[in-house]
Amino acid sequence: MKQILKKLLPIVLLSLMICDTVWAARIKDLSSIKGVRGNQLIGFGLVIGLAGTGDSATNVFFSIQSVYNMLKKMGVTIPSTQVESLKFKNVATVMVTAELPSFARQGDRIDVTVSSVGDSKSLQGGTLLMTPLKGPDSSTYGVAQGPLSIGGFEVAGGGGNVQKKHLTVGRVVNGALIERELPHEFNAKAELIFALKKTDFTTAKRISQAINSELKDESAFVIDGRTIRVEVPNFYKNNSSEFVSRIEKLEVEPDTIARVIVDERTGTVVMGENVRISTVAVAHGALFIQIKEEPVAVQPPPLAEGGQTAILPRTRVAVEEGEDKLLVVPKGASLGDIVNGLNAIGVTPRDLISILQAIKASGALHAELVII
């Protein structure tokens, strides 16, 4: 058996090389407007039409109770003494979740996600029955119903089975109908609050400057590193929607924190454009260890009484140390300089992780090192 410790797993180094050209992003891609968001909906329902892969009556007692309540609402009378004897293998209890988009109107349709609650083996081929979708205030905002799309399958035979993806979670595309709207007086707002998706004072200042430059007025103010308050001009009074459409398409150059992301499990290293390193010397040498098992069979002497053949273990260990190379990284070196220099001395992604950790410990790496 051979174990070469140099390469335990195939490793891929991902280096994001950002060119000198600065690319701006739209305000709508960097921030969101306070109050303009979706709302979560949830419901409990039944999926029918399964090919014997539904909940078992012995383990999921509430599945039978749910079917009984549904049949009772449909006018089907079942004696209470026979409820426990009911067995349905083509029915599964599920939780239905969805997101009510902002400004959704009555009659709009949204997608829903259906997840098994009991011990159903598969929802493939099932149909979701009418399920009320409720919000955090316990009010019903929509109703979901329709055939499920699983996106996977399972094929079984006498000697085994093959399964692709999860079979207990599915979706119903446009399966929910909005029945109730959320009250929203957006056009009557006198001011708007823009919240950055990532906190950064420099980006917030640039957004406020871009808005003020567009409006030729001091209407945008930085509240903190994540919030910009914008006063709606009188020209757009009672028409904030049109004002937002003018503002959100403005382009701003976002500022980012110098950060290095390291995933030790996969050997992936991602470095941003602003990563800088002070003058530092890096010496790196490779170590190869080869372990080989060569068991030897030992037999007893001829005509020996009670002798048995024995297997004696024998291990050979070979150690080889590669040639050390020294790399001097000048002060203020950029991402491209770092990658090119380390590649020149034959550094692998796995070795790069250790080198970056050592450079960070020495204080020469001027970036946040995040290990995930």
> Which domains are delineated in the chain?
3-19+259-371 (no CATH), 25-36+186-252 (3.90.76.10), 39-178 (no CATH)
Q: How far is CA 333 from the centre of its chain?
A: 33
Segment among 1-5, 153-157, 326-330, 348-352 with least mean pLDDT: 1-5
Compare 1 and 168 and report the one with higher pLDDT.
168
Residue of 271, 248, 246, 241 lying closest to 258 (CA atoms) = 271
Q: What average pLDDT does the structure give for the chain?
A: 79
Kindly list the distances between the CA atom of residue 69 and the CA atoms of 11, 53, 75, 80, 96, in Å, as whole numbers in the listed order: 56, 21, 10, 11, 18
Nearest in space to 50 (alpha carbons), one of 167, 163, 166, 138: 167
What pLDDT is attached to residue 163? 59
Per-residue pLDDT of 99-120, as tens digits, reads 999 899 999 999 999 999 988 8
**Confidence band, pLDDT 50/70/90 cuts, at residue 268:** confident
Q: Give the C-alpha separation, 62 to 66, whole Å.
A: 6
160 pLDDT exceeds 80?
no
Q: For residues 271 and 260, is the Cβ–Cβ distance under 8 A?
A: yes
The residues, ordered by sequence, that sit 6+ positions from 26 with a Cβ below 8 Å of its Cβ are 248, 249, 250, 251, 252
How far apart, in whole angstroms, are the C-alpha atoms of residue 219 and residue 208? 8
Q: Please tell me which residue, 319 or 361, carries the higher pLDDT value.
A: 361
Strand pairing class (276-277; 268-271): unpaired
Mean pLDDT of 194-209: 93
This prediction has a pTM of 0.68
Q: What share of the chain is helix, strand, coil (3-state, %, to 5)?
A: 20, 35, 45
Strands of 183-240 (E only): list them. Answer: 191-196, 220-222, 227-231
Lowest mean pLDDT among 5-14, 18-27, 67-76: 5-14
Q: Which residue has the tokens 């260890």?
A: 289
pLDDT, position 3: 38
Contacts of 330 (CB under 8 A, 6+ apart): 279, 337
Nearest to 103 by CA among 39, 41, 184: 184
Given a cut of 80, is residue 321 above it in pLDDT?
no
pLDDT at position 325 is 57
Choice among 44-58, 129-143, 200-214, 295-309 with the minimum mean pLDDT: 295-309
Query: How distant, in Å, are the alpha carbons of 199, 208, 214, 357, 361 from that of 369?
Result: 18, 30, 38, 8, 10
Q: How much is the pLDDT for 108?
A: 94
What pLDDT does residue 334 have? Answer: 63
Which of these ranges, 121-125, 157-161, 343-347, has the smallest mean pLDDT?
157-161
> Looking at the DSSP assignment, which residues form a beta bridge with residue 329?
280
Specify the DSSP element, H or E, that contains 129: strand 127-134
